[in-house]
Structure 1
Amino acid sequence: MLRESSGGIRSPCLHLFLFLVATVSFRGIAGDVSSSPKNGTKSKNHSAQSSSGSVVVGVLLIVVAITVVVYFLYKLWQRKKREEQYACLIKLFEEDDELEVELGLRN
Protein backbone atom coordinates (compact mmCIF):
# COMPACT_ATOMS: atom_id res chain seq x y z
CA MET A 1 0.00 0.00 0.00
CA LEU A 2 1.21 3.51 -0.69
CA ARG A 3 2.26 5.60 2.25
CA GLU A 4 0.54 8.94 2.81
CA SER A 5 2.82 11.73 1.67
CA SER A 6 3.31 14.98 3.56
CA GLY A 7 1.62 17.01 0.81
CA GLY A 8 -2.15 16.58 0.70
CA ILE A 9 -2.25 17.46 -2.98
CA ARG A 10 0.14 14.82 -4.25
CA SER A 11 -1.55 11.73 -2.80
CA PRO A 12 -4.97 12.10 -4.51
CA CYS A 13 -3.29 13.09 -7.77
CA LEU A 14 -1.03 10.06 -7.58
CA HIS A 15 -4.03 7.79 -7.03
CA LEU A 16 -5.89 9.38 -9.95
CA PHE A 17 -2.81 9.02 -12.17
CA LEU A 18 -2.42 5.34 -11.30
CA PHE A 19 -6.14 4.72 -11.86
CA LEU A 20 -6.02 6.34 -15.31
CA VAL A 21 -2.89 4.40 -16.30
CA ALA A 22 -4.51 1.15 -15.19
CA THR A 23 -7.69 2.00 -17.11
CA VAL A 24 -5.79 2.78 -20.31
CA SER A 25 -3.69 -0.38 -19.95
CA PHE A 26 -6.72 -2.56 -19.32
CA ARG A 27 -8.62 -1.10 -22.25
CA GLY A 28 -5.60 -1.61 -24.51
CA ILE A 29 -5.19 -5.26 -23.50
CA ALA A 30 -8.91 -5.99 -23.75
CA GLY A 31 -9.12 -4.18 -27.11
CA ASP A 32 -6.27 -6.21 -28.62
CA VAL A 33 -7.90 -9.53 -27.75
CA SER A 34 -11.53 -8.80 -28.58
CA SER A 35 -11.28 -6.58 -31.66
CA SER A 36 -9.10 -8.68 -33.93
CA PRO A 37 -11.16 -9.12 -37.11
CA LYS A 38 -11.06 -12.45 -38.92
CA ASN A 39 -11.37 -11.08 -42.43
CA GLY A 40 -8.40 -8.67 -42.20
CA THR A 41 -10.32 -5.36 -42.21
CA LYS A 42 -10.61 -2.92 -39.35
CA SER A 43 -13.92 -2.87 -37.57
CA LYS A 44 -15.84 0.22 -36.43
CA ASN A 45 -15.42 -0.90 -32.83
CA HIS A 46 -11.62 -0.65 -33.15
CA SER A 47 -11.84 2.97 -34.33
CA ALA A 48 -14.18 3.89 -31.44
CA GLN A 49 -11.80 2.32 -28.91
CA SER A 50 -8.88 4.16 -30.45
CA SER A 51 -10.59 7.55 -30.16
CA SER A 52 -11.69 6.90 -26.57
CA GLY A 53 -8.13 5.85 -25.75
CA SER A 54 -6.89 9.12 -27.24
CA VAL A 55 -9.32 11.05 -25.05
CA VAL A 56 -8.15 9.19 -21.94
CA VAL A 57 -4.49 9.85 -22.80
CA GLY A 58 -5.29 13.53 -23.42
CA VAL A 59 -7.06 13.84 -20.07
CA LEU A 60 -4.16 12.05 -18.41
CA LEU A 61 -1.66 14.51 -19.90
CA ILE A 62 -3.77 17.46 -18.75
CA VAL A 63 -3.95 16.06 -15.21
CA VAL A 64 -0.18 15.53 -15.13
CA ALA A 65 0.44 19.06 -16.44
CA ILE A 66 -1.87 20.58 -13.83
CA THR A 67 -0.20 18.53 -11.09
CA VAL A 68 3.26 19.73 -12.15
CA VAL A 69 2.14 23.39 -12.24
CA VAL A 70 0.49 23.11 -8.81
CA TYR A 71 3.61 21.45 -7.38
CA PHE A 72 5.92 24.23 -8.63
CA LEU A 73 3.54 26.96 -7.42
CA TYR A 74 3.44 25.29 -4.00
CA LYS A 75 7.26 25.16 -3.85
CA LEU A 76 7.45 28.84 -4.88
CA TRP A 77 4.95 29.76 -2.16
CA GLN A 78 6.97 27.77 0.41
CA ARG A 79 10.19 29.56 -0.56
CA LYS A 80 8.53 32.98 -0.33
CA LYS A 81 7.04 32.16 3.06
CA ARG A 82 10.43 30.91 4.31
CA GLU A 83 12.13 34.12 3.15
CA GLU A 84 9.51 36.23 4.95
CA GLN A 85 10.01 34.26 8.16
CA TYR A 86 13.78 34.63 7.87
CA ALA A 87 13.42 38.40 7.37
CA CYS A 88 11.25 38.62 10.50
CA LEU A 89 13.83 36.62 12.46
CA ILE A 90 16.68 38.85 11.29
CA LYS A 91 14.67 41.96 12.15
CA LEU A 92 13.97 40.57 15.61
CA PHE A 93 17.66 40.03 16.38
CA GLU A 94 19.23 43.05 14.70
CA GLU A 95 20.63 45.70 16.98
CA ASP A 96 18.46 48.69 17.61
CA ASP A 97 20.59 51.66 18.65
CA GLU A 98 17.64 53.87 19.56
CA LEU A 99 16.22 51.31 21.96
CA GLU A 100 19.55 50.91 23.73
CA VAL A 101 19.88 54.69 24.17
CA GLU A 102 16.31 54.95 25.53
CA LEU A 103 16.93 52.20 28.06
CA GLY A 104 20.19 53.82 29.16
CA LEU A 105 22.31 50.88 28.14
CA ARG A 106 24.45 53.08 25.90
CA ASN A 107 25.42 56.70 26.07
Structure 2
Amino acid sequence: MMVVRRSLQYPLLLALTSLHLQHLSGLDNNPSGAKNENKDVNHHASRSSVGLKIIIIFLGVVTVIAFCVFLFKLWQRKKREEQHARLLKLFEDDDELEVELGMRD
Protein backbone atom coordinates (compact mmCIF):
# COMPACT_ATOMS: atom_id res chain seq x y z
CA MET A 1 0.00 0.00 0.00
CA MET A 2 2.78 2.36 0.85
CA VAL A 3 4.49 1.76 -2.50
CA VAL A 4 1.34 2.65 -4.44
CA ARG A 5 0.92 5.94 -2.64
CA ARG A 6 4.48 6.99 -3.35
CA SER A 7 4.15 6.16 -7.01
CA LEU A 8 1.00 8.35 -7.27
CA GLN A 9 2.51 11.28 -5.37
CA TYR A 10 5.30 12.04 -7.83
CA PRO A 11 3.18 12.52 -11.00
CA LEU A 12 0.68 14.59 -9.04
CA LEU A 13 3.46 16.72 -7.60
CA LEU A 14 5.00 17.07 -11.06
CA ALA A 15 1.66 18.13 -12.57
CA LEU A 16 1.00 20.70 -9.85
CA THR A 17 4.50 22.12 -10.17
CA SER A 18 4.13 22.36 -13.95
CA LEU A 19 0.80 24.18 -13.65
CA HIS A 20 2.25 26.54 -11.07
CA LEU A 21 5.25 27.37 -13.26
CA GLN A 22 3.01 27.94 -16.29
CA HIS A 23 0.86 30.29 -14.27
CA LEU A 24 3.86 32.22 -12.99
CA SER A 25 5.47 32.55 -16.41
CA GLY A 26 2.21 33.54 -18.12
CA LEU A 27 2.22 30.57 -20.49
CA ASP A 28 -1.36 29.56 -19.78
CA ASN A 29 -3.10 28.18 -22.82
CA ASN A 30 -5.66 30.84 -23.71
CA PRO A 31 -6.51 30.69 -27.42
CA SER A 32 -9.02 33.58 -27.36
CA GLY A 33 -6.58 36.14 -25.97
CA ALA A 34 -9.39 37.76 -23.98
CA LYS A 35 -7.38 37.54 -20.83
CA ASN A 36 -4.50 39.48 -22.39
CA GLU A 37 -6.87 42.15 -23.71
CA ASN A 38 -8.33 42.58 -20.23
CA LYS A 39 -4.82 42.94 -18.84
CA ASP A 40 -4.05 45.69 -21.36
CA VAL A 41 -7.28 47.54 -20.58
CA ASN A 42 -6.75 47.19 -16.83
CA HIS A 43 -3.12 48.27 -17.16
CA HIS A 44 -4.12 51.37 -19.14
CA ALA A 45 -6.90 52.22 -16.68
CA SER A 46 -4.63 51.80 -13.69
CA ARG A 47 -1.91 53.88 -15.38
CA SER A 48 -4.30 56.76 -16.03
CA SER A 49 -5.66 56.43 -12.49
CA VAL A 50 -2.14 56.64 -11.07
CA GLY A 51 -1.40 59.62 -13.31
CA LEU A 52 -4.57 61.36 -12.12
CA LYS A 53 -3.63 60.74 -8.49
CA ILE A 54 -0.15 62.16 -9.08
CA ILE A 55 -1.60 65.28 -10.72
CA ILE A 56 -4.07 65.80 -7.86
CA ILE A 57 -1.32 65.39 -5.25
CA PHE A 58 0.95 67.77 -7.17
CA LEU A 59 -1.78 70.41 -7.42
CA GLY A 60 -2.54 70.03 -3.71
CA VAL A 61 1.11 70.51 -2.77
CA VAL A 62 1.43 73.55 -5.06
CA THR A 63 -1.73 75.04 -3.54
CA VAL A 64 -0.44 74.54 0.01
CA ILE A 65 2.93 76.08 -0.88
CA ALA A 66 1.26 79.06 -2.59
CA PHE A 67 -0.99 79.60 0.44
CA CYS A 68 2.02 79.47 2.79
CA VAL A 69 3.89 82.02 0.65
CA PHE A 70 0.82 84.27 0.66
CA LEU A 71 0.52 84.06 4.45
CA PHE A 72 4.25 84.75 4.85
CA LYS A 73 4.06 87.84 2.62
CA LEU A 74 0.99 89.07 4.52
CA TRP A 75 2.79 88.56 7.84
CA GLN A 76 5.88 90.38 6.51
CA ARG A 77 3.80 93.36 5.39
CA LYS A 78 2.00 93.55 8.74
CA LYS A 79 5.31 93.33 10.61
CA ARG A 80 6.81 96.07 8.41
CA GLU A 81 3.81 98.36 9.02
CA GLU A 82 4.12 97.83 12.80
CA GLN A 83 7.84 98.65 12.71
CA HIS A 84 7.18 101.76 10.62
CA ALA A 85 4.50 102.91 13.07
CA ARG A 86 6.89 102.41 16.01
CA LEU A 87 9.59 104.35 14.19
CA LEU A 88 7.21 107.24 13.47
CA LYS A 89 6.06 107.23 17.08
CA LEU A 90 9.66 107.31 18.26
CA PHE A 91 10.60 110.35 16.19
CA GLU A 92 7.38 112.37 16.33
CA ASP A 93 7.31 115.59 18.30
CA ASP A 94 5.74 114.92 21.61
CA ASP A 95 4.62 118.18 23.19
CA GLU A 96 3.47 116.51 26.38
CA LEU A 97 6.91 115.05 27.01
CA GLU A 98 8.59 118.45 26.58
CA VAL A 99 6.10 120.05 28.98
CA GLU A 100 6.65 117.32 31.55
CA LEU A 101 10.41 117.72 31.36
CA GLY A 102 10.13 121.46 31.71
CA MET A 103 11.75 122.16 28.39
CA ARG A 104 8.77 124.09 27.18
CA ASP A 105 5.96 125.92 28.89
TM-score bin, normalised by smaller chain: 0.5 to 0.7
- Select which of 92, 95, 99 maps to 1:94: 92
Distance 2:74 2:94 in 1: 32
Aligned to 1:7: none
User: What is the identity percentage for the equivalent residue pairs of Structure 1 and Structure 2?
Assistant: 54
Deviations 1:47-73 (A, max 9, x none): 111101100100001111111111111
* Bigger relative contact order, structure 1 or 2 (CA pairs below 8 A, ≥6 apart): 1
Q: Tell me, what secondary structure is at the counterpart of 1:95?
A: coil
Distance 2:104 2:61 in 1: 62
Unaligned runs of 5+ in 2: 1-36
- In angstroms, what is the RMSD of aligned CA positions? 1.8
Unaligned runs of 5+ in 1: 1-38
Q: Tell me, what secondary structure is at the counterpart of 1:43?
A: helix
Q: CA deviation at 1:43?
A: 2.8
Q: TM-score normalised to the size of structure 1?
A: 0.58
- Residue 41 of structure 2 is aligned to residue 43 of structure 1: yes
- Residue 72 of structure 2 is aligned to residue 74 of structure 1: yes
Counterparts of 1:11-90 in structure 2, within 5 Å, are: 42-90=40-88
The alignment covers a number of residue pairs equal to 68
Moved segments of 4+, more than 3 Å: none
